[in-house]
């Protein structure tokens, strides 16, 4: 590797992106460096880093290079790293933990409570640069058939969708309703399809998002929330809005299962009518684990499905400011920064 300096994107906190020069990193023990292939823009990047930097608490954005949903090819690895090798394409889980506590050993690095927990793009440099220093603990070899964009999206969004569906279970007997067809809703639709759901329907208020979702051949039907009544055995809210969440519950048949994946906000609903009397199982879910990220990638690759198909805008790093402006409108499919092949 001959490059010594690289451009990286950081967030001043006023809904702009800054490109600065940074040193190309080199691995310490247990680490490796990847050449970035792609780096997705996720809703939490917009909330936590881009719009305003609140800089409160140990999990706030520290001014590092952004991007927690990225993937690439290993270009340098420490001598003690054995699970992946130079030249391997890898998936990267979005948070690094201590690697030694119980939750880290279970792969749920997100829940590590040690002071060594660092989220890429928040407390340590992330994927919005052509090289990233990563802990081997957070890496898994990408499956055959995945390109760099496919692999990048597994690090957060697709993992989150897979975990949520896993929590409530989906199989060939299920009619699935996805509420909200932003990037996360599209991921839920693709994974529900891969799991063999009988039907997959989606509802979304944005006409542009409905158009994009409808073009992907993932959904049996794409529409607006209406008064169809109980049509689903499984519903997933990705909107995070009170009306979206209520709609997800109201659309369930008796014995239905529902997962809330959309972040933020609150909701009130009639507990007897929507939950108890309908025997509904309601689950929350937050991101995923390293093993489940790998399992999701394997499932999709085996079925010849490509997470990258949900990306509506592929934009180079040098145009990151525009990429964030597009993503911040929250009116499109996935937005992903892409990097030149070496």
Q: Are 84 and 27 in contact (CB under 8 A)?
A: no
Distance CA 113, CA 229 (A): 43
Q: Rule CB under 5 A: is residue 104 a binding residue for Zn ion?
A: yes
Q: Rule CB under 5 A: is residue 6 a binding residue for Zn ion?
A: no
Phi, psi of 91 (to 5 degrees): -90, 150
CA angle 181, 240, 314 (to 5 degrees): 40
CA 76 distance to own-chain centroid: 26
Nearer to Zn ion, 103 or 231 (CB): 103
Instruction: Mark 112-151 with x for binding to Zn ion (rule: CB under 5 A) and - for no binding.
Output: x-x-------------------------------------
Q: Using CB under 5 A, which of 46, 98, 295, 299 touches Zn ion?
A: 98
Number of residues in contact with Zn ion, rule: CB under 5 A? 9
Q: Are 93 and 293 in contact (CB under 8 A)?
A: yes
Distance CA 314, CA 332 (A): 12
Nearer to Zn ion, 62 or 199 (CB): 62
Binding range to Zn ion, per CB under 5 A, among 59-67, 152-160, 213-221, 322-330: 152-160
Q: Rule CB under 5 A: is residue 155 a binding residue for Zn ion?
A: no
Distance CA 53, CA 62 (A): 9
Nearer to Zn ion, 160 or 235 (CB): 160
Q: Are 30 and 135 in contact (CB under 8 A)?
A: yes
Instruction: Mark 33-72 with x for binding to Zn ion (rule: CB under 5 A) and - for no binding.
Output: ---------x-x----------------------------
**Which uninterrupted H or E stretch holds 168?**
helix 159-168
Q: Rule CB under 5 A: is residue 84 a binding residue for Zn ion?
A: no
b/e per residue 153-173 (b: at least 16 CB within 10 A): bbbbbbbbbbbbbbebebeee
Nearer to Zn ion, 44 or 312 (CB): 44
What is the footprint of Zn ion within residues 240-279 (CB under 5 A)? none
Report the interface residues with Zn ion, using CB under 5 A. 42, 44, 97-98, 101, 104, 112, 114, 156
């Amino acid at each position: 590797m001959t490059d010594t300096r690289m451009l990286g994107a950081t967030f001043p906190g006023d809904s702009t992106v800054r490109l600065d020069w940074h040193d190309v990193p080199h691995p310490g023990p247990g680490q490796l460096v990847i050449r970035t292939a792609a780096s997705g823009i996720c809703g939490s990047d917009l909330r936590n880093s881009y719009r305003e930097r609140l800089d409160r608490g140990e999990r706030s954005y520290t001014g590092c290079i952004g991007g927690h949903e990225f993937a690439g090819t290993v270009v340098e690895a420490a001598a003690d790293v054995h699970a992946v090798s130079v030249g391997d394409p890898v998936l990267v889980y979005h948070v690094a933990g201590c690697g030694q506590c119980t939750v880290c050993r279970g792969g749920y690095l997100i829940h590590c409570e040690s002071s060594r927990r660092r989220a890429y793009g928040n407390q340590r440099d992330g994927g919005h640069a052509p090289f990233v220093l990563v802990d081997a603990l957070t890496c898994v070899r990408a499956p055959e058939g995945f390109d760099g964009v496919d692999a990048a999206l597994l690090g957060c969004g697709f993992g989150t969708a897979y975990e949520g569906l896993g929590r409530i279970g989906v199989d060939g007997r299920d009619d699935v309703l996805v509420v909200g067809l932003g990037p996360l809703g599209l991921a839920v639709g693709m994974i529900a399809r891969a799991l063999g759901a009988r039907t997959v329907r989606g509802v979304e208020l944005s006409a542009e998002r409905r158009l994009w979702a409808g073009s992907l051949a993932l959904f049996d039907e794409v529409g607006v929330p209406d008064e169809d009544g109980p049509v689903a055995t499984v519903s997933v809210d990705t909107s995070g809005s009170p009306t979206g969440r209520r709609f997800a519950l109201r659309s369930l048949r008796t014995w239905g299962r529902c997962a809330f994946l959309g972040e933020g906000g609150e909701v009130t609903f009639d507990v007897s009518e929507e939950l108890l009397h309908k025997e509904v199982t309601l689950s929350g879910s937050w991101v995923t684990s390293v093993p489940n990220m790998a399992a999701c990638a394997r499932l999709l690759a085996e079925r010849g499905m490509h997470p990258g198909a949900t990306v509506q805008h592929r934009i180079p790093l040098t145009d990151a400011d525009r990429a964030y402006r597009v993503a911040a409108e929250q009116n499109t499919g996935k937005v992903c920064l892409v990097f030149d092949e070496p």
